Structure formats: structure tokens, C-alpha cells
Amino acid sequence: MAKLAEQLQQVVEHRASPETVKAVREEAGKAVGKAKPGFKADLKYSSKELNLQTPIRFGKISANEVQKKMVIRHYHQNISGGEVFNKPSPYHWGWYKGDGTEVQANEVVHYQVFPGTDKEHVQVQPFTRTKVLEIKKLLPATALSEFLIESQYEVWAEDGSQLIGFAEYLSKKDSMAVTKFSFGRGFKESYALLYPLFQNGKFLLVMALTRMKISYQHWMDVKAATPMKQMGSVPVSVLEEI
């Protein structure tokens, strides 16, 4: 147990070897396999037509196979050799050797690890901050529910005279616009889904960031469902509110 705790600490601090990362994943998988998935709660509904109370479980929606691809390890080396780590100091974030010596950013080489492929280690560069949202394609607006949204942002302009044309165009085609987006200074890139909202003679665009589609994992057998019984209405209280 102490060994696993030490390995987890290495993973958190981004100083674990590929072998250690693999071992931690295997142990975590064993632990998950022993427990029933999801949180417990009761689902309750009451109306004139139906009274219902049943135990349920709920869990975070994720796309497991895509999530595995997202957990791609990056490691960083000083050009003179030796792995370095991106850590905070009392003054700023920087690149440091294991002994605490700071290394300049232009002296760091970045690699992305693709285990089990012909190119396991590929030299890469951090994404730059997206400054031009160049639309790549349109998708039906109803497709928004197919994506796991990680965050949302309002999009507006000081002069909306041109943006209104784009918003009305999307609304008329019942579509949302798709592009790629990154805040830069790292290795995270997302799809940006833009769609318009209109209210009380005003409008704006919403930019929803996502990296994956939703994958539902706990489908239930309709044939196994217990037929619901319609119940009589509960008595209506005649007491005044106090």
C-alpha cells in the first residue's frame, strides 16, 4: 500500500516513469472493479397520475475509450539531457530539474508518448493561444447534446453589427459552428462549438468547449423493467401556510 501511495505521488508530480504509470493504472483498475459503479440516491416523483420512489445509482458521464486516448503522457527534457518538470515557485511557474535547478523554457524539449505505436515518443510543441476562431464546419444544433461539455463562454463584440448576421445565419440553418481552440501554454486542445441565443431583442453566442462525445455505459433492459402501477392521488392539505 505504501508503494502504491509513493507511485501515485510520482504520477501527480509528473515524475513517474512509463512503467510506474502503467502499474498505477492497473492497480486503480483492480480497485474500481471491486466496487459497484456510481453513487446511491432515491428517485422520487409524485403527481395525480403517478407516485414513484425507487433507488438509483448515478455516475459521471464520460467516453471511456476516448478518455484513454486523452490521457497521453508528456515528458520534458533539458536539451543537455535529463528530465525536467513544470512546477510553481514563489514567483512564477517554471521548468526545474530534479535537484531544483531552474531551466529556461527555450532549453526544454517536449515529447508526447504514444504507447504501443510505431512512434512511441514524438517531439511536440505546446499549443499557442487561439486568436482566430476560424470555423471549420457546421453541425446540426441538436448535436450539441452528443458532446461532453467541459466549459462554456459567452461570445460578444463591442460592435455586434456583423456578429448578428452570423448569429441569424446559424439560427436560420438550425446549426452550430465548429472550430478548434486552445488557451495555449500547454498541451490541451478542445473543439469549440458556437451557437446563438436570442432574448428580449438581444443576442449573444455561446462557445462550448469539448474534447469528446458522450458514451453512455449503463443501458437497462426494457424487458426487465417492472411495470409501474398507477396510484391514487395523495390527500391535498387544507392547512394554511404558516
Residue 18 in any domain: the answer is no
Q: If we measure between CA atoms, which residue out of 102, 84, 194 comes closest to residue 149?
A: 194
With a CB cutoff of 8 Å and minimum separation 6, the contacts of 102 are 89, 94, 95, 96
The pLDDT tens digits of the residues spanning 175-203 come to: 999 999 998 877 788 999 999 999 999 99
Tell me what the mean pLDDT of segment 10-21 comes to: 56
Instruction: Name the domain boundary from 97, 124, 151.
Output: 124
120 and 156 belong to one structural domain: no
Q: Using CA atoms, how far apart are residues 191 and 103, in angstroms rounded to an integer?
A: 32
List % helix, strand, coil for the chain (3-state, nearest 5). 25, 35, 40
Residue 193: per-residue pLDDT? 95
Domain assignment present for 91 = yes
Residue 97: domain span: 63-124
CATH assignment at residue 177? 2.40.290.10
Asked if residue 183 belongs to a domain, the reply is yes
Do 119 and 185 have their domain in common? no
Give the pLDDT score at 205: 93
Pair (146, 206) in one structural domain: yes
| pLDDT surpasses 50 at 126 | yes
Q: What is the reported pLDDT for 32? A: 47
205: three-class secondary structure by DSSP: strand
Q: Quick one: cell of 140?
A: 446540426
Judge whether 208 lies within some domain: yes
Q: Is residue 161 part of a domain?
A: yes
180 part of a folded domain: yes
For the stretch 39-75, pLDDT in tens is 888 888 888 877 778 787 877 665 555 555 555 677 7
Average model confidence (pLDDT) for the chain?
Answer: 78
Q: What is the Cα–Cα distance from 33 to 18, expressed in whole angstroms? A: 23
For the cut 60, the answer to whether the pLDDT of residue 77 exceeds it is: yes
Mean pLDDT score, 129-137: 90
